[in-house]
Amino acid sequence: MRKLGRELGVEAMSLYNHVPNKEALLGGMVEVLIEGLEIPAATSGGWEGKVREAFRSYLKLARAHPEVFQLFATRPLGTGEALRIFEVLRGAGLELVPALQAFRALSSYTVGYALAEIRGFPLELEGGPRALELAPPLKEVDRDAQFDFGLDLIISGLRQKLDPDGAQGDPPRRSRRGPEHQ
């Protein structure tokens, strides 16, 4: 509070005229962060693409504001914040319960991945003599690819559950009741 006051050219105590306490201030920062989430308009590729883009944009936010994101990740979640992303799943055509399960799975993964990236991957997993030989895959993590790897694992798992006769990513056969029709 004292430092923030200084930054604003004011004494720390003045802040209490505008904010109840420090906790509320941090909460507000988190709120602003979440409001900044850009949910991309529907692209081609059905709900999968839409969901993938939404969570990529989630990760982008975490990368842009790692400190605030860490606050966010360990703070009780306001329902409004969750709704932003939940609506993507619903809007993509998922029923209530599957949408909820999917929402929790996808946001758990995304939050966990973002934190892992922020705090840094354990790069040098093997310190032994083979370290140099193994260096390439360990040293430089392709962050986008690593995130997509897990994200697509979950998304295609969801697709199979929701649409068991859909093809594996090849040109889709006619699906009896595709979730993409709202």
Residue ranges binding DNA (CB under 7 A): 1-3, 10-14, 16-18, 21-23
Q: Buried b vs exposed e over 66-83: b needs ≥16 C-beta within 10 Å?
A: eebbeebeeeeeeeebee
- Using the minimum distance from each CB to DNA, give the nearer residue, 31 or 117: 31
- Using the minimum distance from each CB to DNA, give the nearer residue, 22 or 161: 22
Q: How many CB atoms lie within 10 A of CB 119?
A: 10
| Rounded Cα–Cα distance for residues 4 and 21 (Å) | 13
* Strand, coil or helix: 102: helix
User: Is 171 near a second copy (CB under 8 A)?
Assistant: no
Q: Buried b vs exposed e over 121-160: b needs ≥16 C-beta within 10 Å?
A: eeeeeeeeeeeeeeeeeeeeeeeeeebbeebeebbeebbe
Binding mask 40-79 for a second copy (x = CB under 8 A): ------------------------------x--xxxxxxx
8, 24, 96, 167: residue in contact with a second copy (rule CB under 8 A): 96
Binding residues for a second copy restricted to 2-41, rule: CB under 8 A? none
Residue 39 binds what, of a second copy, DNA, none (CB under 5 to 8 Å, by partner type)? none
Binding mask 134-163 for a second copy (x = CB under 8 A): x--xx--x----x--xx-xxx-xxx--x--
